[in-house]
């Protein structure tokens, strides 16, 4: 019993590019976003309002949002990451539709990624969530390392339950369950999701799976069977977190769309147009296309 329709949350402009060493011009990011929207994407993570010292590639966050605002598409939900009030205030003037507060189920990863403990992160997120609500902006919480951590190894579902509970308490309307380093396998992912489902309805949960061990589609399939109908994906499989050594890209949007359409599940995305966009950004970055579906269809 799978959902009839899936919401794709395209994360390539943010997760896909944040780890890129070469500077990607703002205009190229904008063209990527426009291409994705023209292929049918209607929800995306545009950028993050984090410290440019920590993540230089996202240092053009305001410029990119200004460019987007010149031809903003009303049907599209533009999300941005805001780890603290400073980031939120910088983002607010640019009117994102949604802000993402991003915590971790692993203490060590929380320290490495956002420089504070899990409990401290909740204290930093609370005023962000409050201010966002006051401004009529949606608040999504994302939890990293929900099955495994590059520093601590396996993560207990009780940790996922705890962080979900805290994020929901401070006002997150949605929870993303992330396998940051792609180590998860289906039963472990189910356990993480079930832990979150103690505190939030499955309709407000999304899955964010990196494909490091080739498990992402299996993890999506198992999540679909639990009723999860929203997934973060990245065109051409771009991505990785700078604070998760060895983590490769997110699951490729093309591969997810191919699987879902093959199962009769709607996404609203035009696969051929999407493949073109994925190949364009791969060419720009000088990388092999990380989508198996794109490679197969382009070779035809």
Q: Which one, 92 or 230, has the nearer CB to Mg ion?
A: 230
The secondary structure element, H or E, covering residue 78 is strand 77-81
Residue 66 beta carbon to ligand HMG: minimum distance, rounded to whole angstroms: 16
Q: CA separation (Å) from 3 to 41, 146, 187, 220?
A: 18, 23, 19, 12
- The residue range among 7-15, 28-36, 70-78, 191-199 that interacts with Mg ion, by the rule CB under 5 A, is 7-15
Give CA–CA dist 21/33, Å, rounded: 20
Q: CA separation (Å) from 158 to 44, 119, 145, 174, 194?
A: 29, 15, 13, 18, 10
| Contacts with ligand HMG, residue ranges (CB under 6 A) | 15, 18, 48-51, 54-55, 83-84, 86-87, 90, 102, 113-115, 142, 144, 178, 180, 208, 210, 241, 243
Q: Which one, 290 or 295, has the nearer CB to ligand HMG?
A: 290
Q: Which one, 61 or 267, has the nearer CB to ligand HMG?
A: 61
Residue 46 beta carbon to ligand HMG: minimum distance, rounded to whole angstroms: 13
DSSP state of 33: H
Phi-psi region at 282: left, alpha or beta (left = phi > 0; alpha = psi -120 to 50):
alpha
Q: Does 15 bind Mg ion (CB under 5 A)?
A: yes
Residues with Cβ < 8 Å from 93, sequence gap 6 or more? none
If contact means CB under 5 to 8 A according to the sort of partner, which of ligand HMG, Mg ion, none does residue 113 touch? ligand HMG
Residue 144 beta carbon to Mg ion: minimum distance, rounded to whole angstroms: 7
Residue 32 beta carbon to ligand HMG: minimum distance, rounded to whole angstroms: 17
Q: Which one, 144 or 233, has the nearer CB to ligand HMG?
A: 144
- The residue range among 13-21, 55-63, 96-104, 155-163 that interacts with Mg ion, by the rule CB under 5 A, is 13-21
Residues with Cβ < 8 Å from 269, sequence gap 6 or more? 8, 39, 40, 41, 253, 257
Q: Which one, 200 or 271, has the nearer CB to ligand HMG?
A: 200
The phi, psi pair for 22, rounded to 5°, reads -75, 145
Angle, to 10 degrees, between the axis of helix 61-70 and the axis of helix 26-38? 50
Residue 99 beta carbon to ligand HMG: minimum distance, rounded to whole angstroms: 11
Q: How many residues bind Mg ion (CB under 5 A)?
A: 1
Q: Which of 77, 145, 149, 241 is catalytic?
A: 241
Q: Which one, 87 or 157, has the nearer CB to ligand HMG?
A: 87
Residue 177 beta carbon to ligand HMG: minimum distance, rounded to whole angstroms: 9
**Two tokens at 124?**
């930093």
Give CA–CA dist 253/79, Å, rounded: 17
How many CA atoms, within 13 angstroms, populate the side-chain half-sphere of residue 155?
37
Rg of the chain in Å (alpha carbons)? 17
Is there a catalytic annotation at residue 241?
A: yes
* Positions in the binding site for Mg ion (CB under 5 A): 15
- As annotated, the active-site residues are 241
């Amino acid at each position: 019993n799978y959902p009839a329709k899936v919401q794709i949350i395209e994360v390539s402009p943010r997760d896909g590019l944040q780890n890129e060493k070469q500077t990607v011009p703002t205009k190229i990011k904008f063209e990527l976003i426009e291409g994705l929207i023209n292929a049918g994407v209607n929800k995306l993570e545009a950028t993050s309002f984090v410290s440019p010292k920590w993540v230089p590639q996202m240092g053009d966050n305001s410029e990119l949002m200004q460019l987007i605002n010149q031809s903003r598409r009303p049907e599209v939900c533009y999300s941005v990451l805001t780890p603290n009030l400073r980031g939120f205030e910088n983002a607010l003037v640019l009117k994102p539709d949604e802000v993402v507060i991003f915590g971790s189920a692993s203490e060590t990863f929380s320290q490495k990624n956002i420089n504070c403990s899990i409990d401290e992160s909740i204290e930093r997120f609370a005023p962000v969530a409050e201010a966002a609500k006051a401004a009529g902006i949606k608040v999504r919480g994302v939890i990293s390392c929900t099955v495994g951590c590059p520093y601590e190894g396996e993560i207990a579902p009780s940790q996922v339950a705890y962080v979900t509970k805290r994020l929901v308490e401070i006002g997150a309307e949605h929870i993303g369950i992330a396998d940051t380093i792609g180590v998860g396998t289906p039963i472990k992912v189910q356990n993480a999701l079930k832990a979150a489902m103690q505190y939030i309805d499955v309709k407000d949960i999304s899955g964010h799976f990196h494909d490091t061990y080739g498990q992402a589609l299996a993890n999506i399939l198992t999540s679909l069977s639990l009723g999860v109908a929203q997934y973060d994906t990245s065109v051409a499989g771009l991505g990785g977190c700078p604070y998760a050594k060895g983590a490769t890209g997110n699951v490729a949007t093309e591969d997810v769309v191919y699987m879902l359409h093959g199962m009769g599940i709607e996404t609203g995305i035009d696969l051929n147009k999407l493949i073109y966009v994925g190949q364009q950004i791969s060419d720009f970055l000088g990388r092999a296309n990380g989508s198996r579906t794109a490679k197969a269809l382009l070779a035809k």
